Structure 1
Amino acid sequence: MTQNGDPGELGPAKTEIMEATYQALQKHGYDNLTIQDIADEFENSRTLLYYHYDGRDELLVDFLEYVLYEFLGSLPDEKQSARAELETLVEVLLPATLDEEVYRVQLAMFELRVNGPHDRDAREQYLRVDSELKDLLEDIFTRGLEAGEFADIEPAVEAELFLSLLTGTRTRRLTVYDPEESIHELRNAINTQIERISSS
């Protein structure tokens, strides 16, 4: 994509390709997605897609990076309390319900993660995703500990735990829940963990 992955540094053509990919994933999901499906959502030609990408999976790895930075850019800044930022992060990653189109895109990203053992590029991209989220969580826990919002915790340990909780819960949501089915009970379990580490 770009040297540092920032979508703001993409050229117009690649930005349009990312947006076309999002639209195509909403309609077709991962398994049935073809380059032609993306081209159908792209105002330019299929030839231009192949100029930038050798195939669908290479494009999806770039799309994953694009989505990651879009997500990170949507998170609250540090003006909130650390606990409020953690709760917002949970809400962003795990909304109670999903509409069908958003569900298809998230499912496609999950299926790309599952390909990680067989696709080095996808695996490295997800290692980056996990690293970014872990660093964000560790920063939240460190600031919360310093501000007295959280009890005596080890921020790095809690970051690993919450990353696993969030990743596992997203996996359960995508594999055993219907998009419109509420994951209220799963969210409550995570909120219990937040209460556990919060100062009384």
Structure 2
Amino acid sequence: MPVRRRSLQHSASSLDKAFDPLIHSFNWLANLKSKALPMSPKVGIAPKRRAEIIEATFFCIALKGYSNITMQDIADSAGVSKGVIHYYFHNKEELFLSVFDKLIKDLDTHLGRKVQRAKTPPEKIRAIITAVFEKVRENKKFQVVLLDFWAHSTKIPKLQDATANQYARYRHLAKKIISEGVDKGYFIECDPARIASALIGLVEGLMIQWIFDQNAFDLSRAQKMTDEIIMGYLQR
């Protein structure tokens, strides 16, 4: 073999050996990345995937309870890996708070539509009562999961703040409507804040009782009774 050819082959072989560790490192990193990290979502997929994970978590809580589900349970229900869940939510608490936020937004939307359609203060108060009872009647899981969140709210500061804010907004809405009713002569002179608190307490109290024992009373009759108690006081 000519000397020049042997020299070139030797140089090429030396370069191959020199680059072998570097090539191996790149291959190892690429392999590690593909195994350990979820693929970045395609444009437009992220909101849909996030919503699917939240929905799966909702059903897991309804089935097993807040304290008993694992991230693996949620991953199995959503049909994704735990890595995908952690891509969208840093931890279990963030995911659970997102579920709570979704529940409250759904209730707010339902409640808002009912109140907006009502014209007078009495109709608006009845709209609040109807909206809450309808939500539970149509989807018992909704109230079951919400009740589970309330049970844990005293142990999780962010959840407690979110729950307190929820009640404050509902009291404010009811108080505003009652004040309007008093000003326009629909309702008697009263303390709107106290009646608003009583209204929320009565509705929620009946909801909780019914969730624990659906045979205790008929939900439709409970709704009618709530209307009679509140409106009977405001319009006496």
Is the structural similarity TM-score above 0.5?
Answer: yes
Gaps of 5+ in 1: 1-9
1:74 and 1:30 map into 2 onto residues whose CA distance is: 24
1:52-71 deviations in Å (ceiling 9; x for gaps): 33444432222111111121
Q: 1 CA distance for matches of 2:62 and 2:217?
A: 18
Task: Choose from 74, 78, 81 the match for 2:116.
Answer: 78
The count of corresponding residues between Structure 1 and Structure 2 is 188
Structure 1 runs of 4+ aligned residues shifted over 6 Å read: none
Corresponding position of 2:76: 40
**More helix per residue:** 2
In 2, Cα distance between equivalents of 1:51 and 1:179: 44
Give the match for residue 3 of structure 1: none
Q: 1:34 to 1:181 in 2, by over 3 A?
A: farther
Answer yes or no: is 1:125 the counterpart of 2:156.
no
State which structure, 1 or 2, has the greater radius of gyration over its C-alpha atoms.
2
Shift of 1:113: 0.7
Q: Does structure 1 conserve the Cα–Cα contact (< 8 Å) formed by 2:65 and 2:148?
A: no
2:151 counterpart of 1:114: yes
Q: Cα–Cα, structure 1 residues 35 and 21, in superposed 2: closer, same or farther, change >3 Å?
A: same
Superposed, 1:99-110 pairs within 5 Å as: 102-110=139-147
For normalisation by structure 1, the TM-score amounts to: 0.77
Q: Residues 25 and 104 of structure 1 are in contact (CA less than 8 Å); yes or no, is this contact kept in structure 2?
A: no
Which structure 2 residues correspond to residues 16-35 of structure 1 after superposition, within 5 A? 16-35=52-71
Whether the aligned pair in 1 keeps the contact of 2:53 and 2:85 (CA below 8 Å) is: yes
Pick aligned residue for 1:87 from 109, 114, 126:
126
The amino acid across from 1:74 in the alignment is: H
Q: Root-mean-square deviation (CA), in Å?
A: 2.9
Cα distance, 1:149 vs. partner?
2.1
Alpha-carbon distance in 2 for matches of 1:109, 1:128: 14
Bigger RCO of structures 1 and 2 (CA < 8 A, at least 6 apart): 1
Identity of aligned residues (%): 16
